[in-house]
């Protein structure tokens, strides 16, 4: 297993020790922060591959941390929270979280979520190395080597998950991709029924494209089926 750097952000020392010990047992390197401001400062120096972020922290909560983080980083984030309210889940995903785990959780569940996100990171190099270094579709340009996206002359800043989803749609332009296909290919087989993840990610992609070009309607929804990128745009 490849070694990854994982930053744990939680105001409960017991939770930090528990998660860190178990992630280290799998060979990962960990660092920990007990507050939002400390986490934002640590991101640059530690340069994590993954962030485990608690929501209910005093002062700056996890939602504010995530919102600030997404202004300068697309590092994958798994939200950890004691609140099981579905509105919190959607809010976290809307702010750019990659996954959501409700406390208390089992070690197996934690490992499964962490491994799913890390698989996406590790799999991207092999996928894009075999692909063309650049893809163009109408005003859209994807530089696969640099993992950057442009709409005409405007660069679009996607999170890790949004980028992977957008690339998959563009690579299959003109073809309807089912919910199950997209979820399995981007999130992993264990997420194939979690359509909410997909809907939120598609909405965020559309919002970012619209900010660059209000008239562009690139992604078509097929209700109950899936999504398609228009081949003729």
**Among 137, 233, 226, which Cα is nearest to 176's?**
226
3-state secondary structure of 47: coil
Return per-residue pLDDT of the chain as tens, 233 residues.
578 999 999 999 999 999 999 999 999 999 999 999 999 999 989 999 999 999 999 899 999 999 999 988 889 999 998 877 778 888 899 999 999 998 888 989 999 999 988 887 776 545 544 455 888 898 999 988 888 899 998 999 998 889 999 999 999 999 999 999 999 999 988 898 999 999 999 999 999 999 988 888 899 999 999 999 998 65
Beta strands in 37-156 (DSSP E): 50-54, 77-81, 99-102, 134-137, 140-143, 148-151, 154-156
Could you give the count of Cα atoms lying within 13 Å of 61 in the half-sphere of its Cβ? Answer: 12
Spatial separation of the C-alpha atoms in residues 55 and 72, rounded to whole Å: 19
Sign of the dihedral defined by the CA atoms of residues 169, 172, 178, 184, in that order: negative
Per the CB < 8 A criterion, the answer to whether 57 and 28 are in contact is no
């Amino acid at each position: 297993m490849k070694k990854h750097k994982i930053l744990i952000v939680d105001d409960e020392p017991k939770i930090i020790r528990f998660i860190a010990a178990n992630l280290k047992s799998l060979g990962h390197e960990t660092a920990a922060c007990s507050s939002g401001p400390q986490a934002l400062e640590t991101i640059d120096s530690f340069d994590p591959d993954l962030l485990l972020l608690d929501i209910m922290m005093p002062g700056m909560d996890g939602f504010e941390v995530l919102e600030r983080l997404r202004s300068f980083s697309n590092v994958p984030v798994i939200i950890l929270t004691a609140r099981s309210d579905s509105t919190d889940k959607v809010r976290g995903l809307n702010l750019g979280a990659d996954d959501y785990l409700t406390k208390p959780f089992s070690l197996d569940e934690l490992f499964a979520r962490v491994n799913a996100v890390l698989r996406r990171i590790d799999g991207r190099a092999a996928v894009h190395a075999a692909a063309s270094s650049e893809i163009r579709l109408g005003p859209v340009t994807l530089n696969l080597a640099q993992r950057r996206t442009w709409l005409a002359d405007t660069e679009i800043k996607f999170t890790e998950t949004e980028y992977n989803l957008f690339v998959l749609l563009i690579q299959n332009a003109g073809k309807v991709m089912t919910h199950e296909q997209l979820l399995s290919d981007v999130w992993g087989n264990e997420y194939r029924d979690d359509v909410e993840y997909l809907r939120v990610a598609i909405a965020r992609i559309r919002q970012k494209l619209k900010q660059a070009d209000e008239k562009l309607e690139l992604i078509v929804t097929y209700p109950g089926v899936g999504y398609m990128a228009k081949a003729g745009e």
